[in-house]
Amino acid sequence: WRMIWEHNTRNIIMLTQTVEKGKIKCDHYWPFDNEPIVSGDITIQMTSESMLPEWTIREFKITHGANTRRVRQFHYTVWPDHGVPETTETLVKFIRYVRRTIDGEAKHTGPTIV
C-alpha cells in the first residue's frame, strides 16, 4: 500500500487467485469487507465490490494522514489453476473493460499495477 500511495496509483490489475491447488499464490492484501485494515500509516477500506461472472471490481478508500484517495482493483477471476484460458475471449473482454474504465485517468495518476 505504501508503493500505491507513493506512486499515486489508482488502478490495480490482478490476474491470479490468492490460492491455487491449496498453495498461496498471492497475499490477500485487501480488506475482506468494509472493515478498514491498517498497513503502516496507511488505512485501507473497501467501499464497494462488484462481482461479475469473469471478474470482480473492488474500490478502496486509502487514507494517509489527512489525505484520502480512491483506488480500484480489477480482479480477473477465471484464469485456470496452473494453466491458461481455453480461449482468449474473456481475457480480451476484461482488458477492453479495464482500458475503457481507466482511459483518460492516466495523465492524472501514477502507473497501473499488474
Q: Which residue ranges make up the annotated binding site for substrate?
A: 81
Bridge partners, 46 (sequence order): 60
SS3 65: coil
Q: Do residues 93 and 34 lie in contact, with contact meaning Cβ atoms separated by under 8 Å?
A: no
Q: Do residues 58 and 49 lie in contact, with contact meaning Cβ atoms separated by under 8 Å?
A: yes
Q: Do residues 44 and 64 lie in contact, with contact meaning Cβ atoms separated by under 8 Å?
A: no
d(Cα 17, Cα 82) in Å, to the nearest integer? 11
Residue ranges of the annotated binding site are 81
